[in-house]
Structure 1
């Protein structure tokens, strides 16, 4: 199951935890991701606010979504039913 992160619907704590499982370390990229995922800004506004190239933002968002899917799958497969 693919679980995508939703614009404006994520907590900063969740994003911080997911980021620890990636190699994303640019403060600008992280700021843009948080503005988009936590505060709800449009993707284009988020990466422009932090002077991040669109392709770098998209790559980071894709990586974060991939990690989120793995984490959600682990939770789903190990939950007591």
Structure 2
């Protein structure tokens, strides 16, 4: 079913397969560490390699994940420095 509202087109779906089973949402893991972000990058890369995601979409995910990685690494480095200095 499609609804149109001025400039927006919404496509509604019941998210079910032909055999009546419901589709599951993709599992998204936590992205709290550099390792978590690296794993997510590998996961989306594999999806693209298997043709489940186009390269434009992959590029967007990788850019977003790379941007998330910077503050995570900074925080991890700060914590390591504090431990080494005996302040944490």
Q: Normalising by structure 2, what TM-score? A: 0.38
Structure 1 or 2: more helix by fraction = 1
Structure label with greater radius of gyration: 2
> Highest relative contact order (Cα 8 Å, sep 6+), 1 or 2?
1
Q: Normalising by structure 1, what TM-score? A: 0.40
Structure 1 or 2: more strand by fraction = 2
